[in-house]
Structure 1
């Protein structure tokens, strides 16, 4: 993995949020690449339940200050950064007062999904891409983890389809069992179409449930990793039907070499 550039985009990363399959692998995979001499960048949302003082987050003024248009509203983009102790890895946080100030991640205290989770996902995807553009850092691979990050492949391939920085970037999406019940805002498709995307690119979002949002990510990805031992059967069948390069589930203890081989041989097509 020496000198390879890999961008990790995740809804959860330890130590900033509790340990889950997603937050754990969003830490372990970049740590593995970093230890092999690769270059990594990690992006996640700056949820309000992340303790900024304890984790020493600070705003990056030169990257902040842009407004992103979400459903015809200008939403200020704030970028913060922190370093994971002992790992020499920086994490960039996408922040906005309206979307990420509340002291929770995806649901309220009654377990109900936040009504604006769809807009938060749109904002996160656009915020990551705009920030990477400002960094002028062209990734070889973009690896997406978690449903809140899952609109990034759609936006990168369509809304930012002509962006030269990402011309050769390959997108890998990890599919996990952890999703959500019910659906996001039924107006989600309309909000995405407001950005000028073609209707056939968002056909799954007629019903924006977990499976359909992940299908949208899979459609716009170059390769898939099964992040959980079991994933929804409908997603498993959908992945198999597309015949894209796919890596079966690997535990935290055994993923290292498998991910390296998959990145280089299947995603980048660098056959030995």
Structure 2
């Protein structure tokens, strides 16, 4: 493997800026791990510029740089966006800003109703298109774009369809990391127009799923390879029991040698109990009486 590869990780969340679940930990830790493994590599991460991201930046006196603005067509309207840059722990982070979509208290769910946002498809269609447009306007061409789960699964689709003949994107390979196959990004056919894709792609071999639009399915079909969180899970999702209706297309991908399992690791800095910002009572990794007492206090605080 070349040591100077250019990686772009695209996700709906990443530590320390925005976190709902394990996805955020994996994205942040994987980028750091690749940077350590391949010191000459160019590793970058892009996430939406959520309100929670802005709050984190303000709390830690971090100021990203505005690189450019752009316009994205979403359905029948044009939506303006901006791309910001921040160098954090030797990794470049990009933040895609669009206040209408991302200046909200919740990342995926309305904090008052506890329901998914009704414009979830629109938000992540915008984000996916904005990532690709953002790369063009800042003239950054990664070798590999690694996308995560359904929220960013349209990026491989756009690369292999609309941008197939575009010289800027032609050499970019896409990798889809599936964290949980249960969440597929399924939407009604009435919303398909929001993607901006030609209707010829709404078929059972590509984006159609029992009469609905399935974004994760599109990512599986159009990505150059798939990664899951373990070798066992990579095999399980090829079965009816665990495939959630996508087992056939995953097995087809596996038969082509394009499905891999990579076991999640632990970021020992992030999870160091002696410096963990989320622990009120911090303790070292070497056990003694004081450690046990502090663990008890931490559990009580939780």
TM-score by length of 2: 0.73
- 1:143 deviates by 0.6
Hey, what does 1:34 align to over in structure 2? 35
Hey, what does 1:247 align to over in structure 2? 260
Q: Which one of 38, 52, 59 corresponds to residue 54 of structure 1?
A: 59
Q: 1:119 to 1:185 in 2, by over 3 A?
A: farther
Hey, what does 1:172 align to over in structure 2? 175
Structure 2 distance, partners of 1:220, 1:205, is 19
Query: Do the aligned partners of 1:70 and 1:122 also contact (CA within 8 Å) in 2?
Result: yes
Which SS does the other structure have where 1:191 is aligned?
helix
- 1:182 deviates by 8.6
Hey, what does 1:79 align to over in structure 2? 83
Q: 1:129 to 1:197 in 2, by over 3 A?
A: farther
Whose relative contact order is higher, 1 or 2, with alpha carbons under 8 Å and at least 6 apart?
Answer: 1
Which SS does the other structure have where 1:12 is aligned?
coil
- 1:135 deviates by 2.3
Structure 2 distance, partners of 1:217, 1:161, is 15
- 1:5 deviates by 0.9
Correspondence 1:91-106 to 2 at 5 A: 91-106=93-108
Which SS does the other structure have where 1:233 is aligned?
coil
Hey, what does 2:24 align to over in structure 1? 23
Which SS does the other structure have where 1:90 is aligned?
strand
TM-score by length of 1: 0.81
**TM-superposition CA deviations, 1:79-137 (whole Å, max 9, x none):** 122232xx211210111121111111111123211011101111011100011112222
- Residue-pair matches, total: 246
Query: Do the aligned partners of 1:118 and 1:185 also contact (CA within 8 Å) in 2?
Result: no
- 1:17 deviates by 1.8
- 1:180 deviates by 4.4
- 1:196 deviates by 3.9
